[in-house]
Amino acid sequence: MTIHGDHPFLPPESERSPVRRLRGRLPSPVGLWTTQYEGKRAGLTVSSMLVADGEPGYVIGLIDPDSDLWETLRKAKVAVVSLLGAPHQQLADAFGYVAPAPGGPFRMLDWTDTEWGPAPIGVTTWAGCRLVTPDPPEVGWALQVQLELAHVELLPDDLPPLVHRRGRYTAL
């Protein structure tokens, strides 16, 4: 058996989508979107997102239409968007469904229940948001979900932010 640094199931570079490769070269913030409806929690790691300033402000993200997050968010109409730091890589992997999380990713840390959904304790930057429309437009293979910012929590923060680029996490 040989141990190597390449992903064993990754197609050769010549067969990979140039659009996906372009997107992968853009450094993206790593966010955790969480919501709750009728006692069911759902969350997803989202790195395809941006914040639009204004009155009100918005968070716009590309969400998998088949995800548990979208199914629950569409019913709940509210969500918490948290920005993850360097120590949260394992949490990001668990909510991105690329790493195991025995008992589910919500068991990995403690949560505060807010009127917008569960907010992770120990994350210094998060926002409570309201869903703008339950029928967002499709963009590529995702839904372009718009959330209106209702509350922003900014605690003192000296953690390096977690960034996703070329399929890997890095801290700035």
C-alpha closest to that of 117 among 91, 80, 81: 80
- Written as one letter, the residue type at 12 is P
Return the domain boundaries, the chain. 28-171
Cβ atoms of 5 and 25 closer than 8 Å: no
First CA to last CA distance, the chain: 36
Residues 120-157: tens digit of each pLDDT: 999 999 999 999 999 999 999 999 999 999 999 999 88
What is the number of other CB atoms lying within 10 angstroms of the CB of residue 90?
14
Q: Identify the pLDDT of residue 45.
A: 97
The pLDDT assigned to 7 comes to: 55
Q: How confident is the model at residue 14 (pLDDT cuts 50, 70, 90)?
A: confident
Per residue in 54-69, pLDDT (tens digit) is: 999 999 999 999 999 9
Comparison of pLDDT for 4 and 113, the residue scoring more: 113
pLDDT, greater one: 20 or 144: 144
Question: What's the CATH superfamily of 28-171?
Answer: Electron Transport, Fmn-binding Protein; Chain A (2.30.110.10)
Measured from the Cβ of residue 123, the count of other Cβ atoms closer than 10 Å reads 22
Tokens for 74, please give them.
């569409």
pLDDT tens column, 79-91: 999 999 999 999 9
- Mean pLDDT of the region 73-78: 98
Name the CA dihedral angle for 124, 106, 36, 62, rounded to a multiple of 10 degrees: 70
Side chain identity at 67, as an amino acid letter?
S
